[in-house]
Amino acid sequence: MPAKVVVPSSSRHTRRIAVDKIHSVICNRVKDGDEQYLVRWNTESKTAAPPLSWHLINELRHCLEVVQDYLEERETSKKSVAQTRIESRKRKSPDSGYEIEHRSSPFHRLQQGSQTPSASRSSSVSSTTPATAVLSPDVYNGVLDIDQHGFVVCRPVSPDALISLSDVLTADLKQRAYQARVKDAEILMRNAYVQKLNKVPGPAVTLVNTVDNSTPSLRFRYINKYVLTAGVYQLEPATATGCQNCSPRMGRDIGCEYTKLCECLEYAAVDEARLDDEKRRKYEQALSKNSSMMGFPKKFPYFTNTTGAKAGCLVPFYLNSRNAIYECNESCACGPQCRNKNVQFGRKVEVEIFKTTSGRGWGLRCKQALHQGQFIDTYRGEIITDEEAERREESSSKAKGSYLYSLDKFAETEELDHEPYVVDGEFMGGPSKFINHSCDPNCRQYTVSYNKHDPYVYEIALFACRDIAAYEELTFDYLDKEGDESEDPGEGAIPCLCGALNCRKWLWT
Ligand SMILES: C[S@@+](CC[C@H](N)C(=O)[O-])C[C@H]1O[C@@H](n2cnc3c(N)ncnc32)[C@H](O)[C@@H]1O
């Protein structure tokens, strides 16, 4: 048996562990009133059993995302064990006392990953050694030390000095881990997430959970604009030439005022109701030749500041259509007050992330009532290539598709050189990541472009499609298709829990 190695305790209150140093948390317990977590350290060696050590939750405050991963898996394992018990009772299985050994759990996964000769042994008791001697949960087998910054570090260890994971993780320890208190960890995780939210620019983003003690993933990074990944290119800002014929002094000093003049609206939908016969003929010609729409009447997308409560809200022409919105940009001559700028200034409403009671995970709501057509936020994330999106989809769970949003608005109308890009909001994005699907939604997604020349990179902006009461959950239709017919669910379809009368029953078909 290897020597017992104890972490120096002189600086117990200040020592901490760096996230990149540890592989995972594999078990937990409460000892002397303290929450402790068994840490598996990263090791270069593929063959040696990994170093292990128990740590107070406070020492893991820089690794809370790893603790969170563990607690989520612990929940899943507990549920699967409970489920097995019910099933076992039904079947009256003679093996029901050993179900923990055979479940897919963090413990099980780790044994597979450790790749030691002993990993394939039973995870409960060694056949030759008394359980109390070898399987003491207090044994440390990492050679731990504290560096000059107060971080716990693990020195290289010889393989002979290591104890197999399968010996440490007794069935009893696992069972106790399922029951052990994790309250301190939950409080730390919650505080860490709130700190993250406090740094999000703009109106406050709050977090409420009256359902359970969970916290959204600490791995998520809040970003203010897209993050472009390998192989993704956005047109240079210089190509966004903007409108040069409009000016802040035009008419009522509201920037762009004449839609026929505004070059930013060149490709915006033509307001056909304002075409006389002659103009209609020219318009149809232009349409057939796919030529410029400059000079034809369009509509500005937003109500002006003179319209009271509706100021800045989408006008019905856009609200009730799928027409792309082209906003003016920084190069335009129209100035910052231009009525044709809105989404680019970002979210103006406070939002709250809350845990839903209907099994749809987290949701988002506004603390204030919203008007029909009011801008809420954009959907942000990493922009990835189509190939990368497929790779990510294949390598993750079936729910992954829910965070991928294809920028394919112009794929049918323009000759694109390559497949449209995809926004992945799973790991980085904004609070709008939490907006759930409804078949009877109160929000809708719109295409907003600041550069009419770029059909690949544009904003997905979420607007209220009807008046929304304060604290009513925000939802949008993930498919946003014409018609609401239900299709047969494909493989991996997720049942829709939106509860709407017109529910299509499946999230993805
Ligand atoms: C973009 S996320 C929305 C936020 C998510 N609820 C969360 O906790 O992160 C999409 C995922 O939320 C869940 N979801 C959203 N709307 C749902 C609905 N109507 N029915 C069931 N699950 C839903 C599904 O798991 C889906 O994959």
Q: Do the bridges between strand 221-222 and strand 436-437 make them parallel or antiparallel, or are there none, so unpaired? A: unpaired
Closest atom of ligand 1 to CA, residue 478 = 16
Query: What stretches of 413-488 show up as alpha helix (H) in DSSP?
Result: none
- Do 365 and 207 form a contact (C-beta atoms < 8 A)? no
CA–CA gap between residue 150 and residue 464 (Å, rounded)? 50
pTM of the predicted model, to two decimals? 0.86
Q: What is the DSSP letter of 238?
A: G
436 lines ligand 1 (CB under 6 A): yes
Nearest CA owner, ligand 1 atom 13 = 360
Residues with Cβ < 8 Å from 160, sequence gap 6 or more?
2
CA–CA gap between residue 406 and residue 379 (Å, rounded)? 11
Nearest CA owner, ligand 1 atom 24 = 360
> What is the 361 CA–ligand 1 centroid distance (Å)?
6
CA–CA gap between residue 447 and residue 407 (Å, rounded)? 9
Cα 115 to chain centroid distance, Å, stands at 32
Both tokens assigned to 351:
């939002």
Active-site entry in 267, 326, 458, 478:
478
CA–CA gap between residue 437 and residue 494 (Å, rounded)? 11
| Residue 166, pLDDT score | 76
DSSP string, 30-98: EETTEEEEEEEEP-S-SSSPPPEEEEEGGGGTT-HHHHHHHHHHHHHHHHHHHHHHHHHHHHT-TTGGG
497 lines ligand 1 (CB under 6 A): yes
Task: Please name which of 163, 169, 126 lies closest in space to residue 3, comparing C-alpha atoms.
Answer: 163
CA–CA gap between residue 203 and residue 464 (Å, rounded)? 17
| Residue 111, pLDDT score | 38
| Residue 91, pLDDT score | 46
CA–CA gap between residue 183 and residue 213 (Å, rounded)? 8
The pLDDT profile of the chain, 509 residues, written as one tens digit per residue, is 444 445 555 555 678 999 999 999 999 999 889 999 999 988 776 666 788 888 999 999 999 999 999 999 999 888 877 766 665 444 443 333 323 333 344 554 443 333 332 322 222 223 333 333 344 556 676 678 888 888 888 887 777 767 777 777 888 888 899 999 999 999 999 999 999 999 999 999 999 999 999 999 999 999 999 999 999 999 998 999 999 988 887 766 678 889 999 999 999 999 999 999 999 999 999 999 888 999 999 999 999 877 788 999 999 999 999 999 999 999 999 988 899 999 999 999 999 999 999 999 999 999 999 999 999 999 999 999 999 999 998 887 655 557 899 999 998 888 889 999 999 999 999 999 999 999 999 999 999 999 999 999 999 999 999 999 999 999 999 988 765 555 667 777 789 999 999 999 988 65
Task: Please name which of 211, 209, 173 lies closest in space to residue 189, comparing C-alpha atoms.
Answer: 209
> What is the 496 CA–ligand 1 centroid distance (Å)?
9
- Please give the domain boundaries of the chain with CATH numbers for all domains: 16-83+139-184 (no CATH), 200-233+346-507 (2.170.270.10), 237-326 (no CATH)
Task: Indicate if 421 belongs to the active site.
Answer: no
Nearest CA owner, ligand 1 atom 10 = 402
Active-site entry in 267, 379, 446, 450:
379
399 lines ligand 1 (CB under 6 A): yes
Task: Indicate if 70 belongs to the active site.
Answer: no
403 lines ligand 1 (CB under 6 A): yes
End-to-end CA, the chain: 56
Task: Please name which of 379, 390, 380 lies closest in space to residue 231, comparing C-alpha atoms.
Answer: 390
Residue type, 361: G
362 lines ligand 1 (CB under 6 A): yes
CA–CA gap between residue 358 and residue 371 (Å, rounded)? 26
Give 302's strand partners. 314
| Residue 475, pLDDT score | 98
ipTM > 0.85 for the complex: yes
> What is the 360 CA–ligand 1 centroid distance (Å)?
5
